[in-house]
Each structure stands twice: as structure tokens, then as C-alpha cells.
């Protein structure tokens, strides 16, 4: 194995509350730390753990395709790995959830013969279950990226929870916009209104990022989504529209099986 290495870790969602011991150790023991967070307070917090912290945020730019941004981020980290340094990439939330850069960087490092690992962390999904009181095992929970849900023929069950991530940029095919508006959301509502109805209650959710802040959990009618205040961090949670429907044929077969 070559001397350079890469560890991608997650900082969790809430400042100072979710960082696991092994992730902290990777940060503190690295030669260089690359950081991807949108809050300057979080940047300052990580800088207290290591003298060489380099923000990846400057690679973002208005109108710039995120695919190009991600490629440049990976190149920056891999340059240090190839130089034989222990590199840590520290990312907001979980490094493997809605985060292309860690996955692609780890795959690249391993393909070139370097040691590369990913450490699990608290994600927005974990916070969502806790903040909204949802047990995904009760009736089931379906997760889709909002634009993917809109652009592909997805088969979903309205008797389970439906969670649509990045609802604030639904329908963006340019991969460069930071928001889309009512016309794009209207297309999504065309898919959602028939199975749920326009007055079905949905939740616009955002996890808390600071210990002094509260999570966002705005409840509204589905039709109100058209002009709601949504950001790239907003997740749409759609509760079930009705009870689960028993599979009577399978129940009958199980009864015969158990009787035999």
C-alpha cells in the first residue's frame, strides 16, 4: 500500500453534538484536513482541532456546474494523497449520504493503491426520524432525491412515508442552480396530488445545525408547497395517505403453511 491515505468523515448535523471519537481522531491525526461545510461557525470549530484546515467551499460558484465543482474538490484532496500525506475530508452530516465527493474520492484513492476509508456519522435522515417522531419500521419509509423522483418513473406506495430530498431544487437539470420555483414544483404536484389530494398535510423539514437553534418542521397542505419557502437543505416529508392494505392471498398461504 502506498504511503498516502484518505479518510472521509462526517461532522454530523448539529455543531459539536454528533462528531464520533474515531472521526475526531482522523481529523486530529491527519497531515491536512479538507472541509466541506456551509456554516463559518463550523469551520472555526474544526480549525480548533487541526492547524491545516482547507475549505472546499470556494470551489462552488453561482452558475457553475456542481459536477465540475466536485471534480475540483476530488483533485485537491487526491493531490495531497499522492504526495504521501494523510488526508482527512470532513463533511457536513454523513460523508456517504447525498455526498458524491467522498464516495468518488475514496474510489479514486483505492483505484490508485492508496488506503481509503469512510467513517459513518449522523445524517439529516437520522435527525429527521428523531425530530418528527417517525419510526421507519412502522409503515415503511421511501427516500428519493426530488429531481430524480420527478424525472424518472418511480413506483411508490402512498401508504408509507415518502421523503423527497433537496426539494428546493426539484427539477433542476443544469446541476448548477441553487433553487427552482413554482413552475418546477407544479410538475411535482402533478405526480403527488392524485394519490394524496391537495389538502394532504406534508412537512418541510430541516435539521438543526447549531445547538441553540431548532429544527424546521413546517406543516402545510400539499398544494401550499407551490409557493412555500424552500432551500436546498429542505426535505419534504409526506405522511401516509391511508392504512396499509393486507395481502390476503399471501395471508391465506401463510395460514396453510402454518397449519401444515
Q: Please give the positions annotated as active site.
A: 66, 70, 92
Which DSSP letter does residue 12 get?
A: B
- Nearest CA to 126 out of 9, 236, 18 is that of 18
DSSP states along 109-134: HHHTT-EEEE-----HHHHHHHHHT-
Would strands 115-118 and 5-10 be described as parallel, antiparallel, or unpaired? parallel
- Is residue 172 within 8 A of residue 180, CB to CB? The reply is yes
Which DSSP letter does residue 87 get?
A: E
Phi, psi of 127 (to 5 degrees): -65, -35
Q: Given the C-alpha cell 475526531, which residue does it identify?
A: 24
Phi, psi of 122 (to 5 degrees): -75, 130
What are the cell numbers at 51?
492547524
Phi, psi of 211 (to 5 degrees): -60, -25
Q: How many CA atoms lie within 13 A of 245 on its CB side?
A: 6
Which DSSP letter does residue 243 get?
A: P
* Cβ count within 10 A of residue 28: 11
What are the cell numbers at 32?
491536512
What angle is formed at CA 36 by the lines to CA 32 and CA 38, rounded to 5 degrees?
140
Amino acid at each position: 500500500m502506498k504511503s498516502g491515505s484518505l479518510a472521509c468523515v462526517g461532522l454530523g448535523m448539529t455543531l459539536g453534538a454528533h462528531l464520533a471519537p474515531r472521526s475526531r481522531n482522523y481529523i486530529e491525526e491527519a497531515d491536512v484536513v479538507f472541509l466541506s461545510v456551509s456554516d463559518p461557525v463550523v469551520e472555526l470549530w474544526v480549525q480548533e482541532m487541526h492547524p491545516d484546515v482547507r475549505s472546499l467551499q470556494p470551489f462552488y460558484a453561482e452558475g457553475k456546474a456542481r459536477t465540475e465543482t466536485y471534480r475540483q474538490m476530488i483533485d485537491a484532496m487526491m493531490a495531497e494523497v499522492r504526495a504521501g500525506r494523510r488526508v482527512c475530508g470532513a463533511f457536513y452530516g454523513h460523508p456517504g449520504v447525498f455526498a458524491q465527493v467522498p464516495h468518488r474520492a475514496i474510489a479514486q484513492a483505492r483505484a490508485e493503491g492508496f488506503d481509503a476509508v469512510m467513517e459513518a456519522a449522523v445524517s439529516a435522515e437520522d435527525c429527521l426520524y428523531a425530530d418528527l417522531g417517525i419510526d421507519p419500521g412502522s409503515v415503511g419509509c421511501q427516500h428519493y432525491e426530488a429531481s430524480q423522483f420527478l424525472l424518472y418513473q418511480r413506483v411508490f406506495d402512498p401508504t408509507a412515508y415518502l421523503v423527497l430530498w433537496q426539494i428546493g431544487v426539484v427539477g433542476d437539470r443544469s446541476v448548477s442552480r441553487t433553487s427552482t420555483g413554482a413552475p418546477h414544483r407544479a410538475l411535482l404536484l402533478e405526480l403527488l396530488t392524485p394519490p394524496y389530494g391537495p389538502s394532504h398535510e406534508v412537512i418541510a423539514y430541516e435539521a438543526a445545525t447549531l445547538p441553540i437553534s431548532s429544527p424546521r418542521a413546517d406543516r402545510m397542505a400539499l398544494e401550499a408547497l407551490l409557493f412555500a419557502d424552500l432551500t436546498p437543505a429542505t426535505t419534504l416529508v409526506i405522511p401516509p395517505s391511508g392504512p396499509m392494505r393486507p395481502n390476503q392471498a399471501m395471508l391465506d398461504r401463510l395460514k396453510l403453511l402454518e397449519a401444515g
